[in-house]
Amino acid sequence: MKSAIIFDMDGVLVDNNPWHIEAWTTFCKRHSVHMSHEDIMSHFGNTNADYLRFLFQRELKPAEIHKFGEEKEDIYRHIYKDHIKPVPGLMELLNLLDVEGFGIAVATSAPTVNVDFTLRGLGIEKRFDKIVDVTYVKKGKPDPEIYLLTAQMLGIPAGDCIVFEDSIHGVQSAVSAGMHAVGVLTTQTPEKLVKAHFLVNDFREVNADFLMKVFANKLI
């Protein structure tokens, strides 16, 4: 295992961001607070704690963050459970990575319960060498902590890792970690993911030749 492929989860393994938007909208109505569609979109990749501090415009106690975060994610899982499916080409790519001997990991700002919900829903919970969620880190994306930690856990240098990300904060996190960043255009426009080294619409565009091209790209 000399190189690794690291996947963000929401918007990368599954194209689920419309349901997260709906969940945040429902949560806001319950609590008589407002967060615009643009605000929700601009915070994709952040932790729930970051969302909630922005939403309530105050510092929240850990118990409040936990309670509110659980409430929002319960809404999300309830409305998304019948719609879960992989981003096109994901299963074929995972098979390719197994054959080629890449390290494979998930690095997500999502809570553990959502990670279990998603990976089990797709039937891929055993396909990854490492799974790193928000409970492993102190700083959320765009800080590079989660990707540096994932590379360390895989035992692979950051420069030998490709990250698939869909959010502005996620791409910045991967780039700041010194990794090859590939933007997946499920959530943002190409103009929003300008810091990504490469862009794909989905994993049907990713094969062995593409991965080699990404690794051959010199990181600055």
pLDDT in tens, 131-152: 999 999 999 999 999 999 999 9
Q: What residues have CB less than 8 Å from 216, skipping those under 6 apart?
A: none
Arithmetic mean of pLDDT over the chain: 93
- Its pTM stands at 0.89
Cα dihedral 175, 184, 149, 62 in deg (nearest 10): 110
Cα dihedral 117, 11, 45, 76 in deg (nearest 10): -40
pLDDT of 1 above 70: no
pLDDT in tens, 144-186: 999 999 999 999 999 999 999 999 999 999 999 999 999 999 9
CA 104 to chain centre: 14
pLDDT mean over 85-102:
97
Label residues 102-127 b or e (16+ Cβ within 10 Å = b): bbbbbbbbbbeebbebbbebbebeeb
Say what percent of the chain tops pLDDT 70: 98
Delineate the domains of the chain, giving CATH numbers in brackets: 4-15+85-216 (3.40.50.1000), 17-80 (1.10.150.240)
Answer yes or no: are the C-beta atoms of 24 and 42 closer than 8 Å: no
Tokens of 50: 């970051």
pLDDT in tens, 184-214: 999 999 999 999 999 999 999 999 999 999 9
For residue 41, the model assigns a pLDDT of 76
